Amino acid sequence: MPDLDPAVDYVQLLTPEGERVEHPDYSFDGDDEAIRGLYRDMVLTRRLDVEATALQRHGELGLWAQLLGQEAAQIGAGRALRRQDFVFPTYREHGVAWCRGVDPLQLLGLFRGVDQGSWDPTEHNFHLYTIVIGSQMLHATGYAMGVQRDGAVGTGDPDRDTAVVAHFGDGASSQGDVNEAFVFAASYQAPVVFFCQNNQWAISEPTTRQSVIPIYRRADGFGFPGIRVDGNDVLATYAVMQTALQRARDGGGPTLVEAYTYRMGAHTTTDDPTRYRHSDEVEHWKLKDPIARVESYLRRGAGTDQSFFDQVAAEAEELGVHLREGCKALPEPVVTDLFDKVFTETPAELEAQRSEYADYLASFEEVGA
Partner 1 sequence: MTAPSQDFRLPDVGEGLVEAELVSWQVAVGDTVQVNDIVCEIETAKSVVELPSPYAGIVEALLVEVGTTVEVGTPIIRIGSGAHPSEFVPNAAAAPSAEAAAAAEAAGDSPGTLVGYGPREASTQRRARRTGSARPGQHAAPTGPVLAKPPVRLAAREAGVDLRDVTPTGHRGEVTREDLAAPAAAPAPAAPAAPAARSFDVPPVQYTGRVTREPIKGVRKMMGQAMSASAFTVPHVTIWTTVDVTATTRLVARLKLDPAYAGVRVSPLLVLSRAVTELLRTHPLLNAVWDEAAQEVVLRHYVNLGIAAATPRGLVVPNIKDADLMTPPDLGRAINRLTDVARDGRTQPAEQQGGTFTITNIGPFGMEGGTPIINPGESAILAFGTVQKRPWVVSADGEDRLAVRDVCTLSLSFDHRHVDGASGSAFLAAVAGSLVDPSGLFS
Ligand X SMILES: Cc1ncc(C[n+]2csc(CCOP(=O)(O)OP(=O)(O)O)c2C)c(N)n1
Return the range that interacts with partner 1 (CB under 8 A); candidates 107-115, 218-226, 227-235, 288-296. Answer: 107-115
Cα atoms in the Cβ-side hemisphere of radius 13 Å centred on 32: 13
For partner 1, the closer CB: 279 or 344: 279
Supply φ then ψ for residue 366, to 5 degrees.
-75, 135
User: Is residue 60 a contact residue for partner 1 (CB under 8 A)?
Assistant: yes
Q: How far apart are CA 354 and CA 291, in angstroms?
A: 49
Q: How far apart are CA 128 and CA 36, in angstroms?
A: 29
Q: Which does 85 bind (CB under 5 to 8 A by kind): partner 1, ligand X, none?
A: none
CA 186, 187, 190, 194: dihedral to nearest 10 degrees?
-20
Bridge partners for 194 per DSSP:
166, 256
Instruction: Considering only the stretches 67-75, 118-126, 145-153, 359-367, report the one whose residues sit in contact with partner 1 under the rule CB under 8 A.
Output: 359-367
Which residues are registered as beta bridge partners of 198? 260
Handedness of CA 344, 350, 353, 355 (dihedral sign): positive
Find which of ligand X, partner 1, none residue 149 binds, CB within 5 to 8 Å per kind.
none
CB-facing half-sphere around the CA of 3: CA atoms within 13 A:
4
Does 270 participate in binding partner 1 (rule CB under 8 A)?
yes
Considering beta carbons, is residue 78 or 191 the nearer one to ligand X? 78
- Interface residues with ligand X (CB under 6 A)? 92, 131-133, 169-172, 199, 201-203, 263, 267
- CB-based closest residue to ligand X: 169
Comparison of 85 and 258: residue with beta carbon closer to ligand X: 258
Q: Quick one: what does residue 367 bind among ligand X, partner 1, none, with the CB cut-off 5 to 8 Å set by partner type? A: partner 1
Cβ–Cβ under 8 Å, residues 81 and 98: no
The binder of 287, among partner 1, ligand X, none, by C-beta within 5 to 8 A per type, is none
Q: Which helix (H) or strand (E) holds 40?
A: helix 32-57
Minimal distance, residue 77 CB to ligand X, in Å: 14
Strands 205-206 and 201-202: antiparallel
Distances (CA, A) of 214 to 188, 200, 217: 25, 11, 6
What's the closest the beta carbon of residue 171 comes to ligand X, in angstroms? Answer: 3
Phi first, then psi: give them for residue 258, nearest 5 degrees: -105, 115
120 vs 325, which CB is nearer to partner 1? Answer: 325
Residue 24 contacts partner 1 per CB under 8 A = no
Sites for partner 1 among residues 325-344 (CB under 8 A)? 328-329, 332
Q: Is 47 exposed, middle or buried (0-12, 13-18, 19+ CB in 10 A)?
A: buried
Assess 113 for contact with partner 1 (CB under 8 A). Answer: yes
Pairwise CA distance, residues 123 & 176, whole Å: 30
116 in contact with partner 1 (CB under 8 A): no
Q: So which residues are the catalytic ones?
A: 263, 267, 276
3 near partner 1, rule: CB under 8 A = no
Size of the site for partner 1 (CB under 8 A): 40
Closest contact distance (angstroms) between CB of 11 and partner 1 is 31
Question: Counting contacts by CB under 8 A, is residue 349 touching partner 1?
Answer: no
d(Cα 130, Cα 289) in Å, to the nearest integer? 27
**Distance, CA of 58 to CA of 61 (rounded, Å):** 8
96, 166 contact by CB (below 8 A): no
Nearer to ligand X, 15 or 174 (CB): 174
| Residue 279 partner contact from ligand X, partner 1, none using kind-dependent CB cut-offs of 5 to 8 Å | partner 1
Rule CB under 8 A: say whether 61 interacts with partner 1: yes
Residue nearer to ligand X on the CB measure, 92 or 94: 92
Residues that bind partner 1 (CB under 8 A): 1, 51, 54, 56-63, 112-114, 266, 269-272, 274-279, 324, 328-329, 332, 356-357, 359-360, 363-369
